Protein backbone atom coordinates (compact mmCIF):
# COMPACT_ATOMS: atom_id res chain seq x y z
CA UNK A 1 0.00 0.00 0.00
CA UNK A 2 1.32 3.43 -0.92
CA UNK A 3 0.88 5.94 1.90
CA UNK A 4 1.03 9.71 1.81
CA UNK A 5 4.33 11.14 3.14
CA UNK A 6 2.46 12.96 5.94
CA UNK A 7 1.33 9.56 7.28
CA UNK A 8 4.89 8.75 8.41
CA UNK A 9 3.82 8.97 12.04
CA UNK A 10 1.61 5.91 11.46
CA UNK A 11 4.61 3.75 10.56
CA UNK A 12 7.42 5.31 12.59
CA UNK A 13 7.36 4.67 16.36
CA UNK A 14 8.65 7.65 18.33
CA UNK A 15 9.96 7.97 21.86
CA UNK A 16 7.87 9.91 24.35
CA UNK A 17 9.71 12.27 26.66
CA UNK A 18 8.58 15.05 28.95
CA UNK A 19 10.65 18.19 28.60
CA UNK A 20 10.74 20.23 31.77
CA UNK A 21 11.66 23.90 31.79
CA UNK A 22 11.31 26.89 34.06
CA UNK A 23 10.14 30.24 32.73
CA UNK A 24 12.00 33.47 33.41
CA UNK A 25 9.25 34.05 36.03
CA UNK A 26 10.16 30.70 37.69
CA UNK A 27 6.99 28.86 36.54
CA UNK A 28 7.57 25.12 36.00
CA UNK A 29 6.56 23.70 32.62
CA UNK A 30 6.36 20.09 31.44
CA UNK A 31 5.48 19.11 27.89
CA UNK A 32 5.44 15.79 26.03
CA UNK A 33 7.71 15.47 23.03
CA UNK A 34 8.11 12.78 20.36
CA UNK A 35 10.38 14.56 17.89
CA UNK A 36 13.69 14.02 19.68
CA UNK A 37 16.88 12.27 18.68
CA UNK A 38 20.48 11.87 19.78
CA UNK A 39 23.10 13.53 17.58
CA UNK A 40 26.13 11.30 17.17
CA UNK A 41 27.65 9.24 19.92
CA UNK A 42 28.38 9.48 22.78
CA UNK A 43 25.09 11.02 23.78
CA UNK A 44 26.34 14.55 24.41
CA UNK A 45 23.99 16.39 22.03
CA UNK A 46 20.34 15.92 21.23
CA UNK A 47 17.93 17.63 18.84
CA UNK A 48 14.26 18.36 19.34
CA UNK A 49 11.82 19.72 16.79
CA UNK A 50 9.27 22.23 18.05
CA UNK A 51 6.35 24.20 16.75
CA UNK A 52 7.16 27.89 17.00
CA UNK A 53 4.36 28.69 19.48
CA UNK A 54 5.21 26.61 22.55
CA UNK A 55 5.87 27.71 26.11
CA UNK A 56 8.63 25.12 26.31
CA UNK A 57 10.46 26.65 23.34
CA UNK A 58 10.05 30.14 24.80
CA UNK A 59 11.48 28.93 28.13
CA UNK A 60 14.46 27.25 26.44
CA UNK A 61 15.17 30.44 24.49
CA UNK A 62 14.87 32.59 27.63
CA UNK A 63 16.93 30.42 30.01
CA UNK A 64 19.07 28.21 27.76
CA UNK A 65 18.23 25.14 29.87
CA UNK A 66 15.88 22.16 29.85
CA UNK A 67 15.58 18.59 31.13
CA UNK A 68 14.58 15.63 28.99
CA UNK A 69 12.68 13.18 31.22
CA UNK A 70 12.03 9.63 30.00
CA UNK A 71 8.65 8.58 31.44
CA UNK A 72 7.56 5.02 32.08
CA UNK A 73 4.59 3.57 30.21
CA UNK A 74 2.70 3.83 33.52
CA UNK A 75 2.81 7.65 33.28
CA UNK A 76 0.30 7.97 30.40
CA UNK A 77 -2.15 9.99 32.51
CA UNK A 78 0.50 12.54 33.47
CA UNK A 79 1.77 12.79 29.88
CA UNK A 80 -1.77 13.38 28.62
CA UNK A 81 -2.34 16.16 31.17
CA UNK A 82 0.93 17.82 30.15
CA UNK A 83 -0.19 17.65 26.50
CA UNK A 84 -3.02 20.09 27.24
CA UNK A 85 -2.56 23.74 26.40
CA UNK A 86 -2.16 25.68 29.63
CA UNK A 87 -1.49 29.41 29.96
CA UNK A 88 2.23 30.18 30.47
CA UNK A 89 1.65 31.17 34.11
CA UNK A 90 0.31 27.69 34.98
CA UNK A 91 2.61 25.31 36.90
CA UNK A 92 2.19 22.12 34.88
CA UNK A 93 3.90 20.02 37.55
CA UNK A 94 0.99 20.88 39.86
CA UNK A 95 -1.64 20.31 37.14
CA UNK A 96 -0.30 16.82 36.34
CA UNK A 97 0.57 15.84 39.92
CA UNK A 98 4.28 15.60 39.07
CA UNK A 99 7.01 15.77 41.69
CA UNK A 100 10.34 17.47 40.95
CA UNK A 101 13.55 15.47 40.71
CA UNK A 102 16.47 17.71 41.73
CA UNK A 103 18.77 18.67 38.87
CA UNK A 104 22.53 18.81 39.30
CA UNK A 105 23.70 21.22 36.56
CA UNK A 106 20.61 23.16 35.39
CA UNK A 107 17.83 25.12 37.10
CA UNK A 108 14.76 23.26 35.73
CA UNK A 109 13.91 20.19 37.81
CA UNK A 110 13.51 16.76 36.37
CA UNK A 111 10.37 14.71 36.96
CA UNK A 112 10.37 12.09 39.72
CA UNK A 113 9.51 8.52 38.71
CA UNK A 114 11.02 8.77 35.22
CA UNK A 115 13.44 6.20 33.81
CA UNK A 116 16.17 8.77 33.20
CA UNK A 117 16.92 12.49 33.18
CA UNK A 118 19.04 14.42 30.66
CA UNK A 119 19.93 17.90 31.86
CA UNK A 120 20.63 20.04 28.81
CA UNK A 121 21.96 23.44 27.83
CA UNK A 122 20.94 25.12 24.58
CA UNK A 123 23.68 24.95 21.94
CA UNK A 124 21.87 26.19 18.84
CA UNK A 125 18.42 26.87 17.44
CA UNK A 126 17.81 26.32 13.74
CA UNK A 127 14.74 28.31 12.77
CA UNK A 128 12.54 27.14 9.89
CA UNK A 129 9.32 28.64 8.55
CA UNK A 130 6.94 26.56 10.69
CA UNK A 131 9.17 24.91 13.27
CA UNK A 132 12.45 25.11 15.09
CA UNK A 133 15.19 22.56 15.65
CA UNK A 134 16.77 22.91 19.06
CA UNK A 135 20.20 21.40 19.67
CA UNK A 136 21.04 20.81 23.30
CA UNK A 137 24.17 19.53 25.00
CA UNK A 138 23.58 16.94 27.70
CA UNK A 139 25.54 18.25 30.70
CA UNK A 140 24.26 15.65 33.17
CA UNK A 141 22.75 12.22 32.44
CA UNK A 142 21.21 10.22 35.27
CA UNK A 143 19.35 6.91 35.29
CA UNK A 144 16.79 5.97 37.92
CA UNK A 145 18.38 3.36 40.22
CA UNK A 146 15.07 1.45 40.22
CA UNK A 147 15.59 0.57 36.53
CA UNK A 148 19.36 0.22 36.06
CA UNK A 149 21.93 -2.31 37.26
CA UNK A 150 25.41 -1.47 38.56
CA UNK A 151 26.91 -1.54 35.03
CA UNK A 152 24.36 0.96 33.69
CA UNK A 153 22.20 -1.61 31.90
CA UNK A 154 18.48 -0.82 31.82
CA UNK A 155 15.89 -3.44 32.79
CA UNK A 156 13.49 -2.69 29.91
CA UNK A 157 10.72 -4.91 31.28
CA UNK A 158 10.73 -3.05 34.58
CA UNK A 159 11.38 0.45 33.22
CA UNK A 160 8.98 0.34 30.27
CA UNK A 161 10.23 3.60 28.67
CA UNK A 162 7.28 5.09 26.82
CA UNK A 163 7.01 5.32 23.06
CA UNK A 164 4.12 6.05 20.73
CA UNK A 165 2.80 5.56 17.26
CA UNK A 166 0.00 7.57 15.72
CA UNK A 167 -2.93 5.95 13.99
CA UNK A 168 -6.18 7.04 12.42
CA UNK A 169 -7.80 7.07 15.87
CA UNK A 170 -5.01 8.98 17.65
CA UNK A 171 -2.01 8.07 19.78
CA UNK A 172 -1.21 4.51 20.80
CA UNK A 173 1.36 4.27 23.61
CA UNK A 174 3.77 1.37 23.74
CA UNK A 175 7.13 0.34 25.21
CA UNK A 176 10.04 -1.93 24.26
CA UNK A 177 10.28 -5.51 25.47
CA UNK A 178 13.34 -7.61 26.10
CA UNK A 179 12.19 -10.40 23.77
CA UNK A 180 14.67 -11.08 21.01
Domain segments of the chain: what residues?
Answer: 5-174
**Residue 48 in 3-state DSSP?**
strand
Cα distances (angstroms) measured from residue 81 to each of 63, 75, 85, 98, 173:
24, 10, 9, 10, 15
pTM tops 0.85: yes
pLDDT in tens, the chain (180 residues): 888 887 777 788 889 999 999 999 999 999 999 999 999 776 799 999 999 889 999 999 999 999 999 999 999 999 999 999 999 999 999 999 999 999 999 999 999 999 999 999 999 999 999 999 999 999 999 999 999 999 999 998 999 999 988 877 888 888 777 665
Q: What is the model's pLDDT at position 43? A: 72
Report yes or no: 175 and 161 within 8 Å, Cβ to Cβ. Answer: yes
Kindly tell me the burial class for residue 135, based on how many C-beta atoms sit within 10 Å of its own C-beta (0-12, 13-18, 19 or more): middle
Report yes or no: 72 and 17 within 8 Å, Cβ to Cβ. Answer: no
Beta-sheet pairing, 163-167 with 170-174:
antiparallel
Q: What are phi and psi of 159, to 5 degrees?
A: -75, -40
CATH class name, domain 5-174: mainly beta
Cα distances (angstroms) measured from residue 73 to each of 143, 167, 174:
16, 18, 7
Strands (E), 65-130: 65-70, 100-101, 110-111, 116-127
- Give dist(CA 180, CA 166) in Å, integer: 24
Amino acid sequence: MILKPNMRSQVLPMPVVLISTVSKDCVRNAAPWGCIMPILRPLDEIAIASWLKRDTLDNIRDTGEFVVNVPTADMVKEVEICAKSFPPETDEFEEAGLFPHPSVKVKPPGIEGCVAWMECELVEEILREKYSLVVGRVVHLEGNDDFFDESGGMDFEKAKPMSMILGPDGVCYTHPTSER
